[in-house]
């Protein structure tokens, strides 16, 4: 006896199951929204401006914002735990000053790099310890860290310090050809940091604890998770990423400047939020933060291609996008609670 062919009714009943099978989990919705925004902006720019549709436009955004991607990765770890780090911009500036001044004094490039990364990590460690063990709000502690790092910049030098070291200049001028297009070594560093951060967050016990602490610190304690080590650890990661971003920024500008990276901490926070990470913690992806950086960079590309708009429109647009994504997050959290 032959099998009976499926009826239209049977096909109709199986259709919702098929749709559910291919529907991504809700935690991916904010990231998908950011990706859709980026694609929409790129499409609009390609229609409006000649040459905007070139792949080099996106690659140039990566080149110009590689240091911000690294900075946003570190900020993502902190915000996932429900914290904040306002010191990152000043640590970037301090890193450029340390690098420029030590190179001018004759230090070797590897020693300078290690010194800068250790400095950023130690600053992050100190802030993390104060935040957790003295139970002081991260906003206050990292605000103090911001003033400390910026003040140390002025202690090192009141003037901009040029970087003439051969290793740094060759790294700055180096390019990696991709067919007819190119990227810089800084982009490779940023992408490697992004991949490592994604692996840590999603394939290690530490990463799962980061999400647990952000979801509910009390519940994480009751489950026996290493809350103290995790809360301190994310600030060490943020400090390390800030120092690394400072090295990339010093290579990008080939100088150390005490007024450099002013407000960069706000750009990093904006990129993380636009990338879909909840400010309350517990939900978000480093991939979303990277796409958030690309969105900010694409806004700057719009300004450059137009040629008639003031650079202040970048800040205005970022402010509007940030408010919109915060409102979307609020609606999302209300619906899921």
Q: What pLDDT, on a 0 to 100 scale, did the predictor assign at position 285?
A: 94
pLDDT at 28 over 70: yes
pLDDT at 11 over 60: no
300 in any annotated domain: yes
Q: How many other CB atoms are there within 10 angstroms of residue 330's CB atom?
A: 13
pLDDT at 15 over 50: no
Q: In this structure, what token pair is assigned to residue 44? A: 């609009």
Contacts of 44 (CB under 8 A, 6+ apart): none
75 in any annotated domain: yes
3 in any annotated domain: no
Band (pLDDT 50/70/90 cuts) for residue 335 is: low
Band (pLDDT 50/70/90 cuts) for residue 1 is: very low
pLDDT at 334 over 90: no
270 in any annotated domain: yes
pLDDT in tens, 104-146: 999 999 999 999 999 999 999 999 999 999 999 999 999 999 9
Helix (H) or strand (E) holding 177: strand 176-178
pLDDT at 20 over 90: no
pLDDT at 14 over 80: no
Question: What percent of the chain has a predicted confidence (pLDDT) above 90?
Answer: 73
pLDDT at 8 over 70: no
Domain count, the chain: 1
| DSSP H helices in the chain | 8-22, 29-48, 55-64, 66-80, 88-104, 109-133, 138-156, 166-173, 185-203, 205-215, 217-222, 227-253, 264-274, 286-306, 312-336
SS3 call for 6? coil
7 in any annotated domain: no
CA distance 14 to 185: 50
Q: What pLDDT, on a 0 to 100 scale, did the predictor assign at position 78?
A: 98
pLDDT at 6 over 60: no
CA distance 139 to 84: 6
CA distance 285 to 35: 12
22 in any annotated domain: no
Query: What is the average pLDDT across 199-209?
Result: 96
Q: How many other CB atoms are there within 10 angstroms of residue 336's CB atom?
A: 9
Q: In this structure, what token pair is assigned to residue 260? A: 């450099």
pLDDT in tens, 266-319: 999 999 999 999 888 988 999 999 999 999 999 889 888 887 777 777 788 888
pLDDT in tens, 210-257: 999 999 999 999 999 999 999 999 999 999 999 999 999 999 999 999
| 27 or 83: which leads in pLDDT | 83
Query: What is the average pLDDT across 67-78?
Result: 97
Q: What pLDDT, on a 0 to 100 scale, did the predictor assign at position 322?
A: 82
pLDDT in tens, 51-66: 899 999 999 999 999 9
CA distance 42 to 215: 34
Q: Which burial class, exposed, middle or buried, applies to 212 when counting CB atoms under 10 A from its CB (0-12, 13-18, 19+)?
A: buried
CA distance 337 to 334: 5
8 in any annotated domain: no
Query: What is the average pLDDT across 53-82?
Result: 96
Query: What is the average pLDDT across 82-98?
Result: 97
Q: In this structure, what token pair is assigned to residue 87? A: 């010191």
For 68-107, b where at least 16 C-beta lie within 10 A, e where not — what string?
bbbbbbbbbbbbbbbbbbbbbbbbbbbbbbbbbbbbeeeb
Helix (H) or strand (E) holding 283: none
The answer to whether the beta carbons of residues 329 and 30 sit under 8 Å apart is yes
The answer to whether the beta carbons of residues 186 and 60 sit under 8 Å apart is no
Sequential DSSP letters for 61-80:
HHHHTHHHHHHHHHHHHHHH
Q: Which domain holds residue 79?
A: 28-336
pLDDT at 147 over 80: yes
Q: In this structure, what token pair is assigned to residue 191? A: 């992408």
CA distance 111 to 319: 40
Band (pLDDT 50/70/90 cuts) for residue 5 is: low
Helix (H) or strand (E) holding 334: helix 312-336
70 in any annotated domain: yes
- pTM exceeds cut of 0.85: yes
């Amino acid at each position: 006896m032959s099998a009976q062919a499926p009826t239209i009714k049977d096909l109709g009943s199986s259709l919702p199951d098929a749709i559910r099978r291919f529907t991504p989990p809700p935690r991916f919705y904010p990231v998908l929204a950011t990706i859709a925004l980026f694609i929409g902006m790129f499409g609009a720019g390609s229609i409006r401006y000649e040459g905007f549709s070139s792949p080099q436009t996106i690659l140039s955004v990566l080149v110009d914002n590689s240091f911000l991607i690294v900075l946003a990765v570190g900020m993502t770890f902190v915000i996932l735990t429900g914290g904040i780090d306002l010191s990152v911009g000043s640590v970037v500036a301090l890193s450029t000053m340390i690098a420029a001044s030590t190179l001018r004094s004759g230090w070797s490039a590897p020693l300078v790099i290690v010194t800068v990364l250790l400095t950023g990590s130690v600053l992050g460690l100190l802030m993390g310890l104060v935040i957790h063990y003295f139970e002081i709000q991260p906003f206050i502690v990292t605000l103090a860290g911001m003033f400390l790092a910026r003040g140390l910049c002025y202690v090192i030098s009141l003037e901009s310090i040029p970087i003439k070291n051969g290793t740094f200049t060759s790294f700055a001028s180096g390019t990696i050809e991709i067919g007819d297009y190119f990227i810089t070594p800084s982009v490779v560093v940023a992408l490697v940091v992004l991949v490592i951060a994604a692996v840590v967050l999603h394939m290690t016990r530490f990463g799962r604890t980061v999400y647990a602490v952000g979801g509910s610190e009390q519940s994480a304690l009751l489950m026996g998770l290493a809350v103290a080590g995790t809360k301190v650890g994310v600030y060490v990661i943020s400090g390390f990423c800030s120092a690394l971003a400072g090295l990339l920024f010093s290579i990008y500008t080939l100088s150390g400047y005490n007024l450099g990276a002013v407000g960069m901490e706000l750009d990093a926070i904006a990129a993380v939020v636009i990338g879909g990470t909840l400010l309350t913690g517990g939900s978000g992806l480093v991939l979303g933060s990277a796409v958030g950086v690309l969105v900010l960079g694409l806004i700057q590309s719009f300004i450059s291609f137009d040629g008639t708009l003031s650079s202040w429109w970048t800040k205005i647009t970022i402010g509007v996008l940030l408010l919109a994504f915060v409102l979307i997050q609020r609606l999302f959290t209300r619906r899921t609670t």
